[in-house]
Structure 1
Amino acid sequence: MTNEIMDRPNDIMRNWFNDQWSNFPTFFGDSLPVTDTLKTDIKESDKDYELHVDMPAFDKKNIDINYQNNTLTISGHRDSFNDHEDKKGDMIMNERSSGRFTRQYHLPAVDQEKIKATYDKGVLEIVLPKMEQKKASEHHIEIN
């Protein structure tokens, strides 16, 4: 039942510069956090896949979920935090981030019509039921 989960969030360059003070800018200028980008737990059973994705401070309307070609894509955006503007220059560290976030997961043989998602207290939960596998019935073939 082990499934190869492919995560393609473009981590190669971000991890190269991974330290507690830096963010790696994307091609379009948004800043993605080096750590804590859509941390995910995935469970697999005979019947389904279940994902729990940390998405704190996201507005539900800014989260997009898509399943196509055996790939689940979760994307969203978070607006800038304006709750503590620093006009005097007193800010010594700012780790909360804003911008666009995307992750992809390879999850084959999912019944697309039955996927369900909920978002509560900063956690996105997605249940992806697997397609029912028809058991091959034995068919005896006569030799003429």
Structure 2
Amino acid sequence: MNMTNEIMDRRNDIRDWMNNDPWMNGFSSLFGDNFPTNDTLKTDIKESDKDYSVKVDMPDFDKKNINVSYNNNTLTISGHRDNFADQNNKNGDVIMSERSSGRFSRQYHLPAVDQDNVKANYDNGVLKITLPKLAENKDSSHHIEIN
């Protein structure tokens, strides 16, 4: 297992604990409906020799409200989703509402990316990002004399 996967596993373990702990789960109610739930920005990341492939579930986001950046070996995905019109029903006949609105952000440590050739596509509520890895220079060894 490479270091990137190990870091992601640790982060996911902590996130799973927070989402499954009864006290932490109740904590979100203090912030109202705009607190991100455990189903926000679900992500799959695949790594090959040539690139990273990232898929993020972002249903009901408008493409213009999604921002993707790569800086210091970190991919950042952020965006905001406006309130849903039927959530503010004046008649009081909404008996359940689980869809979240507000600002959301996730970060992923993905080292050695050719940031000039990153490609992103948003279709059917799924953001797909391909991050090519930097080509390794096979002749990058350098002999150092010892004095």
Q: Could you tell me the TM-score, scaled by structure 1's length?
A: 0.80
Matching of residues 2-41 of structure 1 within 5 Å: 2-5=2-5, 6=7, 11=15, 15=19, 16=21, 17-18=24-25, 23=29, 25=31, 31-41=34-44
The percentage of aligned residue pairs carrying the same residue is 62
Query: Cα–Cα, structure 1 residues 123 and 3, in superposed 2: closer, same or farther, change >3 Å?
Result: farther
**Structure 2 residue corresponding to 1:54, chosen from 31, 50, 57:** 57
Query: Cα–Cα, structure 1 residues 115 and 95, in superposed 2: closer, same or farther, change >3 Å?
Result: same
Query: Cα–Cα, structure 1 residues 38 and 137, in superposed 2: closer, same or farther, change >3 Å?
Result: closer
Q: How many residues align?
A: 138
Query: Cα–Cα, structure 1 residues 137 and 128, in superposed 2: closer, same or farther, change >3 Å?
Result: closer
Long gaps (5+) in structure 1: none
Long gaps (5+) in structure 2: none
**What is the one-letter code of the residue matched to 1:62?**
N
1:98 lines up with 2:105 in the alignment: no
Identify the structure with the greater helix proportion: 2
Which secondary structure state, in structure 2, belongs to the residue aligned with residue 80 of structure 1?
Answer: coil
Identify the structure with the greater strand proportion: 1
Q: CA deviation at 1:87?
A: 1.8
The CA RMSD over aligned residues, in Å, is 3.2
Which secondary structure state, in structure 2, belongs to the residue aligned with residue 75 of structure 1?
Answer: strand
Q: Could you tell me the TM-score, scaled by structure 2's length?
A: 0.78
Q: CA deviation at 1:137?
A: 6.3
Residues in 1 aligned to 2:121 and 2:105: alpha-carbon distance in whole angstroms: 18
